[in-house]
Structure 1
Amino acid sequence: MFDIGFPELLLISLVALLVIGPDELPNAIRSLSLWIGRIRRSFTKIRQGIENEIGADEIRAQLHNEQIMQEIEASKASIQETKQDLNNMIGEVKNDLSNTTNESEEHVDQKQSN
């Protein structure tokens, strides 16, 4: 949070020990930790209040729903493309079968006429 390393923490401890004294140091640390806890809780409440006011949860849900809808649309387009490809292939197979049937009928007619 404050990016305090061990040397800085040691220096602060020594200064606090000299200024406050060994008798009052535990009480001072206890008071400081209580104040830090209160400040953290206050900031948490403020953050939650702001998120509630702007509807952050609703915005997150809406963005998630939009993402899902985009994925569904992409899947839908892919399925339509596959369907079109299959229809084209079926049409080609029908044409090939029709041509083969016509050629077979012509071949049978030629054999019968000979």
Structure 2
Amino acid sequence: MFDFGFSEMLLVAVVALIVVGPQRLPKVARTVGHLLGRMQRYVSDVKADVSREMQLEELKKLQEQVKDQARDLESSVRQQADSVESEFRQTTSEVRKSIEDDAPAGPPMTPAPSASEAWPAEPAAPAPGVADESPATDPSVSGESRPESGRSGS
């Protein structure tokens, strides 16, 4: 902090010894030491406060930059979304117009039958002369053996 050499400190000590006197010199030296210590602590506290304030200012600037970048990104995303939405609406209107132009002028088309109307509830009976080949009536599937005209099933 102060740039004192040995010779300057010796000169101050001699002047202090003459002015204060030998009996009070230790007490005055102790008081001066305490005051110098307090002054050093005060200076270091001020330095720390200034450093914290500078860091706080840097953080505030950084926070503002991040907020600005977030706003820019948000506006960019909104512009892109609006652009895509307008293109989508334009394409949709073109497709609808194309469908309306291509539609026949006749009666409106009836909707396709629902699944319950399209399929019958009961399966159709087999046509006459067609053998039913379901596994339930096939003797080879059920495991039963029927003797055929005089042969034994062993």
Q: TM-score, normalised by structure 1?
A: 0.57
SS at match of 1:111: helix
Runs of 4 or more off by more than 2 Å in structure 1?
Answer: 44-50
1:47 Cα deviation from its structure 2 partner: 7.3
2:32 pairs with one of 23, 34, 51:
51
| Bigger-Rg structure (1/2) | 2
1:50 Cα deviation from its structure 2 partner: 5.0
| Structure with bigger RCO (C-alpha 8 Å, 6+ apart) | 1
RMSD of aligned residue pairs (Cα, Å): 2.4
Q: Structure 2: give runs of 5+ residues left out of the alignment.
A: 1-5, 8-21, 95-154
1:58 Cα deviation from its structure 2 partner: 0.6
Percentage of matched positions with identical amino acids: 5
Instruction: Supply the distance in 2 between the matched residues of 1:74 and 1:96 (Cα, whole angstroms).
Output: 33
Corresponding position of 2:69: 89
1:51 Cα deviation from its structure 2 partner: 1.6
Aligned residue pairs total 73
Q: Structure 1: give runs of 5+ residues left out of the alignment.
A: 3-41
Instruction: Supply the distance in 1 between the matched residues of 2:77 and 2:61 (Cα, whole angstroms).
Output: 24
Instruction: Kindly indicate which of the two structures has a greater share of residues assigned to helix.
Output: 1
Instruction: Supply the distance in 2 between the matched residues of 1:113 and 1:67 (Cα, whole angstroms).
Output: 68
In the alignment, structure 1 residue 78 sits paired with structure 2 residue 39: no
SS at match of 2:49: helix
